[in-house]
Structure 1
Amino acid sequence: MSQSNDAHPIGIDFGGSGIKAAPVDLDRGDFAAERVRIETPQPSTPDAVAEVFAELASSFDADDGGTPVGVTVPGVVRDGVVSTAANIDPSWVGVDAAALFSQAAGRPVFAVNDADAAGLAEAHFGAARGQKGLVIVTTLGTGIGSALLHDGVLLPNSELGHLEIDGRNAESHAANSAREKHDLSWEEWAERLTTYYRTVEGLLTPDLFVVGGGVSKHADKFLPMVDITTPIIPAVLRNKAGIVGAALYATRR
């Protein structure tokens, strides 16, 4: 049964394990109705995901389908086209996700990198709201996602998790997955994060770092030990950030 969304834009967060959707109240930066989640099909091919996408989008229809829809993609997205696919089926590379989802939903859909969506949400409704200058939002999870925003304006597809530091891909050494894999203490992980964030601040001199990802709920256990010059604070929207940011992105296209 369709749920009323009172014409709120819809955000859909496409992840490796689940695809989540909700209408978003952009006055509050929060869900306007209860979130719906469907398992990501395996394999997560474009056609299989498009079917789930259409089901999710239609579950919130309260009008003629004219409400904006935004979708996150866990990869680089340029003009709607996916360029990388680290945690989804490799067949996504080269696919025009925006066109595919638009056809499936029967309305215009706008695709954005997942970390960029989270960054937009944190900049406009979360930890970096009202922050001037350069804000770098990082998500610490399986990898390290990044979003660059200057005075709230997104500079997309930064991919700072793939910086080479000390001869290694940064996220392979400093992501939360590396902490879990190597059973690092919070202090040991903070040392790795210090190296990572010092490298980024040396390159870009940001005014603020915001740290997201599921592990951010434990920020008090590691962020105070990250020894850098730039202020660094935890994200506040957490698992809502992708959906909220995707909906916001769709209204700005």
Structure 2
Amino acid sequence: MTISEEVESWKVGALAASTGVTVRALHHYDHIGLLSPSSRNVAGHRLYTTQDVTRLYRISLLRRLGFPLEQISHVLDDPDWDLPAAVRRHLVDTQRRAAIAAALCNRLTVMADQLAAHTTSPSPDQMFGALEEMTMLDSSVHSTTTILIYDDLPAAHEYVVRVYGLTPGELERTPDGTAVHGEVRAGEQVIWMHPAGDGFRSPRDLGGVTGMTVINVDDADAHHARSVAAGAVIVEEPVDQNYGVREYGARDPEGQLWFFHSPLD
């Protein structure tokens, strides 16, 4: 198959140079069927279109979020995938990193001016701040995002906010009203809520869980009392653990396990 001259396209080397994704990685994506070029020219060279570039962006974003390659194809083929929402979330993360970089730049400017003027040496607080910001920028691992699967996304979103006291985030819907993404927060921790679909099942459907969400709270007993009053299903009453926390467990209506703990004095 050939591609018309009117359609913008890139050979594999040009795409690699423009995106920073290696030619080897692009060949591997093609080999496993994750990203195959839409066309080839008369010489048989791979030609990637704008649609392919969009798919590559989605692949790179999902890899940044920690998805393994074998799961990415399921997410990409999900008809409820919302590219605008993904770009917005990517923008928020990039803005956060830009703010850290700007703060570090300002701090280093003050330190450099002090040293150049021979007036004073940078204080320990300045050094601590610079080290913290450097670590936040340089670490290859910056944060974690938990993703939980639900059959009824709006009901689950309402439940964990009302019963567990989590901070509500956005609940995104398609034009026909179908919920396709939900977010809640536990402090700085973001928890995403994804609709069940091909390759993604709610614990209620599976008949068991393979993980749990653990959240640190100020007072496990007070949080337990609040949750019970709101109708929580408790699977473990508050108990002192030998690893230094007091902890209780709960199960939400679709079978996800939640544990809440606070440090022992």
TM over 0.5: no
Normalising by the smaller structure, the TM-score range is under 0.3
Q: Which has the higher contact order (CA 8 A, sep 6+)?
A: 1
Structure in which a larger fraction of residues adopt helix: 2
